[in-house]
Structure 1
Amino acid sequence: MSSPALSVLDLVPVRTGQTSAQAVAASLALAQRADELGYHRYWFAEHHNMPAVASTAPPVLVAAAVGRTTRIRVGSGGVMLPNHAPLIVAEQFAALEAIAPGRIDLGIGRAPGSDPVITQLLRRTGTASDVERFPEHVRDILSLVSSDGATVRFTSGDTYAVHATPAATEVPEVWLLGSSDYSAQLAAALGLPYVFANHFSGEGLERALDLYRTQFQPSETLTAPRTFLTANVVAAPTAAEAEGRMLPQARMMARLRGGRPLTALETVEQAASAEASDALAAPLLDALRRRWFVGTGAEVRAALATFAAAHGVDEVMISPVAGAYDAEPLDSADGRTQTLELLAP
């Protein structure tokens, strides 16, 4: 069984005692290591107002990461389009494409990436606040980043040309992200590559892929369906260490699903001590073990190959969710780096 190409999804996790500067430094070092190890692409997610997540501004993080890397594709996984005006997104990623030609991915999502209060703050201005116009806004971005640009037509019959950047010779690769039938069907209708957010929810995976593949309409840029999957992953020298490094993220998931107050990620020791008394993650652990990929490097590599083959994909984007020990430096991500090194292509 051949191994799939591997990519990385980064939420820029923030652990107890860590500043945002240290968390970002750790993620940029991880992007550099992924580049050295031969990973295919490195994407930053968009989330807001979460104590354990510092990936609030993907374009900023992408710009920093391309300056630290030389080969790997870098992009968003994704920009939550309802939070932003399409022209701003198009301009940001057109500029990134000019900085790193041929290396920029623009992954677009429809979810807000936060709670209702933050969502309202993000959507106070602009037309992007209308989620129902999401397909239109995706089409707008595709036109704006193209060399031809977009055309605004007025009721008077006059037209006005708009370009995300002048004299574009290359464009970012646009992907549609999602975990629902809706996103799969829209990607198929628009002839766009599609990513199912399996790391977020594995529910509906088979149906979404089937809808995308059977309903796909060829476009100028894509003649056949193109897709890959995401997965939460922890790899370590021993299965016991992998289980320990999994626990902080598992407890964070338990807080999120249970509507409990969110905190910075616990360290491995903090999570183990807390779990012994409150068993916060215990009800979830078995379910997560079935969907996450946790174990030694050899075990996880084999499981990812089986997963990719079962769903007919040749690429898997791993979200390395390994927690940190108390003694590990705050400006590095030793557990996540170890995961990438053990799974390196």
Structure 2
Amino acid sequence: MSIHTSPQLSVLDLIPVRTGQSSSQALAASIDLVALADRLGMTRYWFAEHHNMPGVAASSPPVMIAAAATRTERIRVGSGGVMLPNHAPLVVAEQFAALEALAPGRVDLGLGRAPGSDPVVSSLLRSSGPTADVEQFPQHVRDILTMMGPDGARLRLTSGNLYDVRATPAATATPDVWLLGSSDYSARLAAELGLPYVFANHFAGQGMDQIVRLYRESYVPSEAHPAPRTFLTINTVVADTADEARERALPQLRAFARMRTGRAMRPVETVEEALADRPDHLMARTIEALSERWLIGDAATAAAELRRLAAAHDVDEVMVVPVSGAREAEPLDTTPGRARTLELLSETLKP
């Protein structure tokens, strides 16, 4: 890809919850944001799955995808991702087959194998027995692919009889299935199954170049995907000035730093709260290290860096995670900083 070519833009949303904001207000703000992304011509909008986190309301991707589909016309909507060990494969297949029927040709099913929470919540989510076995992830991915197809799956019962299982009675199309990960495990599996793959660069540390190269070099073409397919994810804050972007980035930088340093989580601070608190040495070093891996700046600087990153990693699509914080005076059911990030990037990256 040429460094002068503008990549397609997509969005990953963790549905942040800030100080004083209710879950209802946070969800409303995100649904407004997906409608904006649709109007701006962005490619896809995914919702993450995290549990029991005071600053994150993204616990149920299928619910958010259904709501987003009703507010949009053309953008693809999906999960980034469904944490498969938390769910029975048939339930996932049925949910996403139904979503595909509601929004034909617009649904992505991103699958991951991470817990998306702490061990206590994971044990509650995975109390259903063998379906929660992480080691069964490859087979469960295959099961979902088969059950969502028009022909469904055919099982042989212990009696010897054959039994047909379909995620939906009369499928005419299936969602695009993506594997997500931050290690080489899902990259290898995606390559083996001939599926698209995304490295979770927005929260992982190092290793993206090597893992994506491994995926591409070991890819086995499939009928649906004859060539490997991937894109880049990055935490992003874009504002009208670089100073404004740095201030807007601080609340989420501090939230990530608290998580990395093992501190208690809380709702995302407002910009004013974040600016008022002086971090200790460990927090300050962690915030600085994180900010070096994030995209923070004015529109021209951010757009140039996105083009450079897309060219460097040979991708034609970048999925931004809009992590711009809110100011105290801004309405609780809106997310002006995140909306401005999308508006400025879309405007600046237009061909």
Q: Same fold (TM over 0.5)?
A: yes
- For 1:206, the equivalent position in structure 2 comes to 209
Displacement after TM superposition at 1:24 (Å): 0.1
Deviations 1:90-126 (A, max 9, x none): 0000000000000000000010100000000000114
For residue 216 of structure 1, what is the aligned residue in structure 2?
219
Alignment of 1:59-98 (within 5 A): 59-98=62-101
Q: Report the counterpart of residue 119 of structure 1 in structure 2.
A: 122
* Alpha-carbon contact 2:253-2:291 (below 8 Å) kept: no
> If the length of structure 2 is used for normalisation, what is the TM-score?
0.96
Query: Within 5 A, what are the aligned runs for 1:55-204?
Result: 55-204=58-207
Equivalent residue runs for 1:45-56 within 5 Å: 45-56=48-59
Deviation for aligned residue 1:74: 0.2
Match of 2:18 among 15, 20, 29: 15
Q: Is the 8 A contact 1:251 1:280 kept in 2?
A: no
Deviation at 1:279, TM superposition (A): 5.9
Q: Secondary structure at the match of 2:321?
A: strand
**Higher deviation after alignment, 199-208 or 247-256:** 199-208
* Aligned-partner Cα distance in 2 for 1:223–1:277: 50
Q: Secondary structure at the residue paired with 1:195?
A: strand
| CA-to-aligned-CA distance 1:161-186 (integer Å, 9 cap, x gap) | 00000110011110000010111100
Work out the CA distance in 2 between the residues paired with 1:184 and 1:83.
20
Q: Partners of 1:270 and 1:178 in 2: how far apart?
A: 33
TM-score by length of 1: 0.98
Unaligned runs of 5+ in 2: none
Higher mean Cα deviation, 42-51 or 253-262? 253-262
SS in 1 for 2:169: coil
For residues 241 and 267 of structure 1, the distance between their equivalents in structure 2, rounded to whole angstroms, comes to 13
- In 2, distance between residues paired with 1:171 and 1:211? 27
- Tell me how far 1:278 sits from its aligned partner: 4.3
Q: CA deviation at 1:288?
A: 1.9
**4+ runs of 1 displaced by more than 6 Å?**
none
Q: Per the alignment, do residues 307 and 277 of structure 1 end up closer, same or farther by CA in structure 2, a change over 3 Å counting?
A: closer
Offset, 1:260: 0.8
Using a 3 Å threshold, how does the CA distance of structure 1 residues 279 and 328 change in structure 2: closer, same or farther? farther
Which residue does the alignment assign to 1:301? 303
User: Do the aligned partners of 2:257 and 2:287 also contact (CA within 8 Å) in 1?
Assistant: no
Higher mean C-alpha deviation, range 20-29 or range 288-297: 288-297
Match of 1:254 among 254, 257, 277: 257
CA–CA distance in structure 1, aligned partners of residues 266 and 287 of structure 2: 19
1:34–1:340 contact (8 Å) kept in structure 2: yes
TM superposition shift of 1:280: 6.4
- Given that 1:250 and 1:281 are in contact with CA atoms closer than 8 Å, whether structure 2 keeps it comes out as no
Residue of structure 2 equivalent to 1:318: 320
- Identity over aligned residues, as a percent? 63
* Partner secondary structure for residue 128 of structure 1: helix
Distance of aligned partners of 1:239 and 1:279 in 2 relative to their CA distance in 1, 3 Å threshold: farther
**Larger CA deviation: 41-50 vs 194-203:** 194-203
**Aligned match of 2:337 in 330, 335, 338?**
335
Name the SS of the counterpart of 1:259 in structure 2.
coil
Select which of 4, 7, 11 maps to 1:4: 7
Secondary structure at the aligned position of 1:60 is classed as: helix
In structure 1, distance between residues paired with 2:333 and 2:282 = 28
CA contact (8 A) 2:15 2:56 kept: yes
Paired residues of 2:261 and 2:283 also in contact (CA < 8 A): no
Query: Is the 2:12–2:322 contact (alpha carbons within 8 Å) kept by the matching residues of 1?
Result: yes
Q: How many residues align?
A: 344
Please identify, of 128-137 and 154-163, the stretch whose mean Cα deviation from structure 2 is larger.
Answer: 154-163
Report the alpha carbon displacement of residue 285 of structure 1 after superposing the two structures with TM.
Answer: 2.9
**Higher mean C-alpha deviation, range 71-80 or range 285-294:** 285-294
Letter in 2 for 1:292: W
Q: Which runs of 5+ in 1 are unaligned?
A: none
Alpha-carbon distance between aligned partners in 2 of 1:68 and 1:128, rounded to the nearest angstrom: 34
Q: Does the residue aligned with 1:92 lie in a helix, a strand or coil? A: helix
**Which residue does 2:237 correspond to in 1?**
234
Kindly report the root-mean-square deviation, in angstroms, between the aligned alpha carbons of the 2 structures: 1.0
**What is the distance in 2 between the residues matched to 1:277 and 1:63?**
40
Q: Measured at CA, do residues 153 and 277 of structure 1 come closer, stay the same or move farther in structure 2, by a change above 3 Å?
A: closer
